[in-house]
Structure 1
Amino acid sequence: MVRSKRNWDEDDVRINKSRQFGSSNKARARTKDRPDYANADTATIIEVDRGRVKCLIQTKTGKLIITAMKARELGKKSVVVGDLVSVVGDISGSDGSLARVVSVLPRKNSLTRTIDDHANDERVIVSNVDVMAIVISAANPDPKIGLVDRALAVAYDQGIKPIIIMTKKDLADGDEFLKIYQDLEITVFKIDKSSNLVTLKKELAGKITVLLGHSGVGKSTLVNNLLSTPQKNSIKSETKSTQQVTGAVNEVTGRGRHTTSGAIALPLSSTFDSDEFGWIIDTPGVRSFGIAHIKPSRVISAFPEFTEAISNCKKNCSHNESSCALNHWPGFNNQNLARLASLRRVLSLG
């Protein structure tokens, strides 16, 4: 007979108190019935900070910003800036009020990246955006083709309009670099700290724009110049500073310092009902932007002039083989071929 090394006694026995003292103290029985959120309000996420989020919501008295917590069942990384969500609870926006995000509505698009090109490690940065502003600097640090190409691939894949904003034009003209993208007919803005941004503001008015770029290219400075006036909460009328912290470029490595810790949406106008009202979503400077999750055929199909040719490609065509219909389509002219070559380079197909 095998004996235990420990001598057990009655103190080692655990008693379920709910059973010991009768049915009146029993734990509440679980139910399969789920809460009904049919009357939940819809809001837009403008900032995520751990378990709390800030939302823009339309009420009977106008638009206002509220604070909410995420329902536990949504998970830790279920909500990103730009998401449309259903909220319940206190949506007054008053001091100490706290609503609850109970569901995330379907996204029309999302800006995602994979870490070091691992397709299974896909991360959503923001969602439901209209414009992707790829911010590069003419110098210090020098513009990188890799980041621009990868960002364009994601933009075309998700149906987001890309534009290029080149900062620090006072240090270099950057024209040679920009020639690479002229066949794709992308709108380009060249600016520095003293530039008049009226034309750029008109381009972004009424849209949700995400800024994407390496650290040190001047994204935070650009945001500060775009946001000419402080924004106000429509309920309390308390001034909320939207000035972003700026950082310098390391002279040894040529890399910038992260000054934005997480994506945050900032209003372009101090008045929610203004015709020029729109959102700028500032994101942390990226050093890795993998696109292993992007399908080349989906990117190329975003260009209507290639749709008919692609329909004649073989199944699972990589669009980088001699039999690809894009290589032999009779309707192509020199401009079509130049745009196709640029797209293939963007996707590292050529």
Structure 2
Amino acid sequence: MSRNARSYDESDVRIRPGKGTRPRTKKRPAHSDAATAMVVSVDRGRWGCVIDGDPDRRVVAMRARELGRTPVVVGDRVGVVGDLSGRPDTLARIVRVEDRTTVLRRTADDTDPYERIVVANADQLLIVTALADPPPRTGFVERALAAAYAGGLTPVLCLTKSDLAAPDEFAAHFAELELPVIVAGRDDDLDTLEETLAGRLTALIGHSGVGKSTLVNRLVPDADRAVGRVSGVGKGRHTSTQSVALPVPFARDRDTDRTWVVDTPGIRSFGLAHVTPDEIVDAFDDLREAIGRCPRGCTHLGPPADPECALDELTDGSHRRAMAVRELLAAVRETGPEEPVADASPDPV
């Protein structure tokens, strides 16, 4: 043995202490004191929220660790705790996401099993379509209708650029579906539209160039400034990658301050892989009872595919509506989701 060698004993061994003696638990705090808020914007892991739906009480929040990867989207009703002052550089925490009453979903295409939630808890879907430049497409409206029916939203067709073409011919395509149609061209007043929006949360979708931004700016005259407030979420800026909820100021003149529109840019295509025929038919009270008599697996497309479809037994107005819904089902099945709904962008967080 070398004379410089040293013998070791147990006193030379260092034992690394554990990270803690307190046992782990799956119990989560109740957060019974959490304030109720609505999500109005999403940006890079930060959520803009308004307390009690009040546009003047805005906070920026992060998702609490206990929520894991629970999706939180514009329109969600959430519980928030922490600093709710809304002062610059303050951050609250989202600790709870309430059950959704409606959901507007889409998939990347009709074979994609992954559903993307566009807006939660919207009462209505305003489908903005130009009568010319670009020419209107029934396929886009049909796919939007299918998504609205499946998600529980009431669809409304809003026709712009009425100075370039008359609305009657295009609107007639959807007459039997009892689809509300509002003409809101640049020279048209917005009284009917405002009445339809009042007291509701309404999502807007439409192709690029149809006048959706012009319409939003007419409804919310300071939309650019409002967007900067709700969607910057810390940096005070807005890009086309976000959906954003905006309060409509006319609501205060109509004895309600709970009117919101959600501008939904960023959808490249409207895939409907998540939508079933039953979900579309079920949106109509008089047809819902009928399909209960259909054989299992019925697609409601009628002969020859479904020779025993109960929709064929209906009469009068219900039969006309059933045939219109059948045409909608066939159109959605035949057309692809390649038509863009808005400017291309990454999916929301």
Give your verdict on TM over 0.5: yes
Letter aligned with residue 264 of structure 1: V
Of the candidates 45, 54, 58, which is equivalent to residue 48 of structure 2?
54
Structure number with higher relative contact order (C-alpha < 8 Å, ≥ 6 residues apart): 2
**Which moves more between the two structures, 272-281 or 182-191?**
272-281
SS in 1 for 2:162: coil
Match of 1:43 in 2: 37
Match of 2:309 in 1: 324
Structure 1 residues 160-179: aligned runs within 5 Å: 160-179=153-172
Structure 1 residues 83-162: aligned runs within 5 Å: 83-162=76-155
Match of 2:288 in 1: 307
**1:28/1:267 CA distance change after superposition, 3 Å:** farther
Q: Quote how far apart the aligned CAs of 1:137 are.
A: 0.4
**1:288/1:143 CA distance change after superposition, 3 Å:** same
Match of 2:319 in 1: 337
Q: Quote how far apart the aligned CAs of 1:29 are.
A: 5.2
Question: For each residue in 1:65-104, what CA deviation from the matched residue of structure 2 results, as whole angstroms up to 9, or x when unmatched?
Answer: 1111122454567111000111111111122221011221
- 2:201 paired with 1:192: no
Q: Quote how far apart the aligned CAs of 1:167 are.
A: 0.8
Letter aligned with residue 260 of structure 1: S
SS in 2 for 1:347: helix
Question: For each residue in 1:100-129, what CA deviation from the matched residue of structure 2 results, as whole angstroms up to 9, or x when unmatched?
Answer: 112211111100001111241211000101
Do 1:202 and 1:276's aligned partners in 2 also have CA atoms closer than 8 Å? no
CA distance in 1, matches of 2:154, 2:162: 23
Structure 1 unmatched ranges of 5 or more: 1-18, 232-239, 244-258
Match of 1:181 in 2: 174
Do 1:224 and 1:242's aligned partners in 2 also have CA atoms closer than 8 Å? no
% identity of equivalent residues: 42
Structure 1 residues 20-35: aligned runs within 5 Å: 20=14, 23=17, 26=19, 31-32=24-25, 33-35=27-29
Q: Quote how far apart the aligned CAs of 1:50 are.
A: 1.3
**1:241/1:108 CA distance change after superposition, 3 Å:** closer
Match of 2:247 in 1: 267
**1:126/1:322 CA distance change after superposition, 3 Å:** same
- 2:208 paired with 1:215: yes
CA distance in 1, matches of 2:24, 2:266: 46
Structure 1 residues 217-296: aligned runs within 5 Å: 217-228=210-221, 240-242=225-227, 260-269=240-249, 275-277=255-257, 278-284=259-265, 286-296=267-277
Structure 2 unmatched ranges of 5 or more: 1-12, 229-238, 334-349
**1:123/1:22 CA distance change after superposition, 3 Å:** closer
Letter aligned with residue 58 of structure 1: D
